[in-house]
A and B are shown apart, each in its own frame.
Chain A
Amino acid sequence: MDDKIKKLIIKLAHRFPRKESALLPALSLIQKRNGCITEDDLMEIANIMNIPQARVFSAASFYTMLSLKKIGKYHIQVCTNVVCSLLDGESLIDYVSGKLGIQEGEVTPDGLFSIASVECLGSCGHAPAILINMAHYENMDLKKIDKIIDSLKKGEWRG
């Protein structure tokens, strides 16, 4: 963990009556800055907040928006809950997987893309849904996803 992030986390921890309360803000800070949370980060947070390492790991591994492995610049999360699955959301994963040549949890060699299946994204009314970084897409189909991925490849990301 670099000193700059460490300082920010210590500052965060002091904003709460109990340092532990800064756990999620600290984890998302690291996620945002570094794209993933390393084991070293987890241990450092435990140390700063004087909480068990296992508790930090528990939180970090629970939330799908936090990643313990390196993810791509564009992290494509596909909802696999009931409604999205009924509307063929699962084939979206296979399709993207084929298109990018990577499996779930892997990163493309150029570091641009990674894929993950996630729990409900809260868009059951407009299923199937996907999330790319913080951008939310609904009523997805294969054509739409092609378009998005192509624009991402060209660097025409509109967020």
Chain B
Amino acid sequence: MKNISLNIDGKNIKTVERKTVLNVARENGIYIPTLCYHPRTKQAGKCRICVVEVKGLPGLRVSCSLEAKDGMEVLTNTGRIIETRKMIVELYLSSGRHNCISCEGSGTCELQDAAYHLGIEKSSFPNMTKDIPIDTSSPMIIRDMNKCIQCYRCIAGCNDIAVNEVLDMGFRSSRMTVVCDTNKPMGKSSCVICGECVQLCPTGALTERKSATKGRDWETGKIKTTCPYCGVGCQMYLHVRDNEIIKVTGAEDTAPNYGSLCIKGRFGYDFVHSHERLRSPLLRKNGEFAEVSWEDALDFTAKKLLEIKKNHGPESIVGIGCARTTNENNYVMMKFMRAVIGTNNVDHCART
């Protein structure tokens, strides 16, 4: 690819061709607000908030859809640009019910960020919208269309990334809204609840039902890990607050899933905190299970294993490992059976 150089806000930048002005700016730490653009859904050119001025080109240009060219001189921060962005954000604010007080999106909301950076306290346009009932029909996802800014990211995610093809834009002009199938409630539609749309939503229009009121973004720690379900090995973040996983999101910058998850990976985490989890070693005494200390449980088990090994030989003991636990645990299990018990009678469910 050809090397090019351009100037953004007086800064000379060397890069390669076939990138957008927005990407070049972001790579160089220059903030340009966006609402509809997302690295995974690519440029949409819808919200127009990423406008910049380019010397020699008329009017304002949309930086997410503008290819960076050699010798370009770009300004991202002029008075005209700021005024335009302000007006766009104010129009957005007036065309929905954007109330941050108890919004789950607060802290990760890109509209909130844009309004904050532009210093907008209140829209100067009157709010003419009617309340749209919140769609709570899905067991995992809450859809509040009052907060939708029609960025099309959920539609792109549903159709082009996850290819479940449930969402599209319905109706026109002021009645325009995202629909599921033939305008069904999400819970009655063909939605497979992968949550791609939730992850891509820039506002609080689509949120995780189970995470509601459990903690906002700045209150949680995020730990990157590997999904515990199938063999794809999706990378994801566990959002943790007070020793509780309250939300899961896909890690967007790494193979193999680049942000995508399925219903199990994204929403099947609360078994971790189930009250049915085993909390203490249990020993069967007279047909009943009794809680015992680790010392007692381990002593009993070790003694019994030694006894069986002595009386019936190591071949009378078998171990079944676990395709669900870590390599390290499996290795230790395998080592235990071979080095400690002295048998190769070790297997796991790869065959089942």
Contact = CB atoms under 8 A, between A and B. Distances in A.
Q: Verify whether A and B have any Cβ pair under 8 Å.
A: yes
Q: Which of A51, A54, A61 has the most CB of B within 10 A?
A: A54
B211 interface: no
A56 to B, nearest CB: 7
Interface string B174-186: 0000011111000
A53 B173 contact: no
Give the secondary structure class of A's interface. Answer: helix
Interface string A77-102: 00000000000000000000000000
B181 A57 contact: yes
Contacts of B8: none
Interface in B145-198: 159, 165-173, 179-183, 190
Nearest to B183: A57
Interface in A39-78: 39, 42-43, 51-58, 61-62, 64
Nearest to B168: A54
B179 A52 contact: no
Contacts of B172: 61-62, 64, 119
Contacts of A51: 165
B171 A54 contact: no
A50 to B, nearest CB: 10
Contacts of A43: 182
Contact of A52 (B165, B171, B183): B165
Interface residues of B, number: 16
B182 A52 contact: no
Contacts of A119: 172-173
Q: Which of A51, A55, A57, A119 has the most CB of B within 10 A?
A: A57
Contact of A61 (B159, B165, B166, B171): B171
A48 to B, nearest CB: 15
A57 B173 contact: no
Given A42-B182, A53-B181, A58 B173 contact: no
Interface residues of A, number: 15
Contacts of B168: 52, 54-55, 57-58
A54 B166 CA distance: 6
B166 A52 contact: yes
A42 B170 CA distance: 13
Contacts of B170: 54, 57-58, 61-62
A56 B182 contact: yes
B179 A54 contact: yes
Contacts of B171: 61-62
Contacts of A42: 182
Interface string A89-130: 000000000000000000000000000000100000000000
Given A52-B159, A53-B190, A119-B173, A58 B166 contact: no
A22 to B, nearest CB: 18
Nearest to B190: A53
A61 B183 contact: yes
B159 to A, nearest CB: 7
Contacts of B169: 58
Contacts of A64: 172
Contacts of B166: 52, 54
Nearest to A39: B182
B129 to A, nearest CB: 18
A51 to B, nearest CB: 8
Interface in B87-104: none
Contacts of A55: 165, 168
Contacts of A56: 182
Contacts of B181: 52-54, 57
Q: Which of B167, B168, B169, B180 has the most CB of A within 10 A?
A: B168
A58 B170 CA distance: 4
B206 to A, nearest CB: 15
Contacts of A39: 182
Nearest to B173: A119
Interface of B: 159, 165-173, 179-183, 190
14 contacts: A42-B182, A51-B165, A52-B159, A52-B165, A52-B166, A52-B168, A53-B190, A54-B170, A57-B168, A57-B170, A57-B181, A57-B182, A64-B172, A119-B172
Given A52-B159, A53-B182, 17 more contacts: A39-B182, A51-B165, A52-B165, A54-B167, A54-B170, A54-B180, A54-B181, A54-B182, A56-B182, A57-B168, A57-B179, A57-B181, A57-B183, A58-B168, A58-B169, A58-B179, A62-B171
